Amino acid sequence: MEAVEYQARVEALAEDILTDKQLAIDYGRKREENREALRRLGEQAHKVKPNSILATTAVNMGDFFIQMPLPKAQAMITEAQSDLDKAIEDVRQRLRAKVKRLGELEGDERMASVAQSMGLESVTGNDLYSISRK
């Protein structure tokens, strides 16, 4: 019975790691979309006069669009971007701890140190799907 409990803990932790990896990928995609939106809003802001009716943009807020001034839209996206950066860093910290814990559970010293050796600071989608190294 003890072996079954051990295997269940290992599998639960591995599933948790995979979930966090996917979350990091999703956050990264959203961050890239925000960067693209900020760039396009910046381009649009340079093309129009500040007090013009064209100095507004439509922003998607869930199921509907809201018309707002360009600077306010840029500020909202910038704030969302900083929130995403914090969330990504939190996920990376959790991943490091979970990968280290998984290595300890499996008794694999190489696995226990993989979080540090991989430097999860620069994680890409490809890195997240292939975390093990030979």
Q: For the segment 58-72, what is each residue's pLDDT rounded down to a tens digit?
A: 888 889 999 999 999
> If you average pLDDT over every residue of the chain, what do you get?
82
- The domain that holds 22 is classified in CATH as 1.10.287.370
Please report which residue ranges of the chain form alpha helices under DSSP H.
Answer: 2-47, 70-106, 109-112, 114-118, 125-129
- Give the pLDDT of residue 120: 46
- pLDDT tens per residue across span 95-106: 999 998 888 888
In a domain, 35, yes or no: yes
Query: What is this structure's pTM?
Result: 0.70
Q: Is 80 exposed, middle or buried (0-12, 13-18, 19+ CB in 10 A)?
A: middle
Q: Decide which of 52 and 58 is more confident.
A: 58
Range of the domain at 54: 2-129
With a cut of 80, say whether residue 51 has pLDDT above it. no
Let me know if residue 33 belongs to a domain: yes
CA distance 112 to 99: 7
β-strand pairing of 64-69 with 56-61 = antiparallel
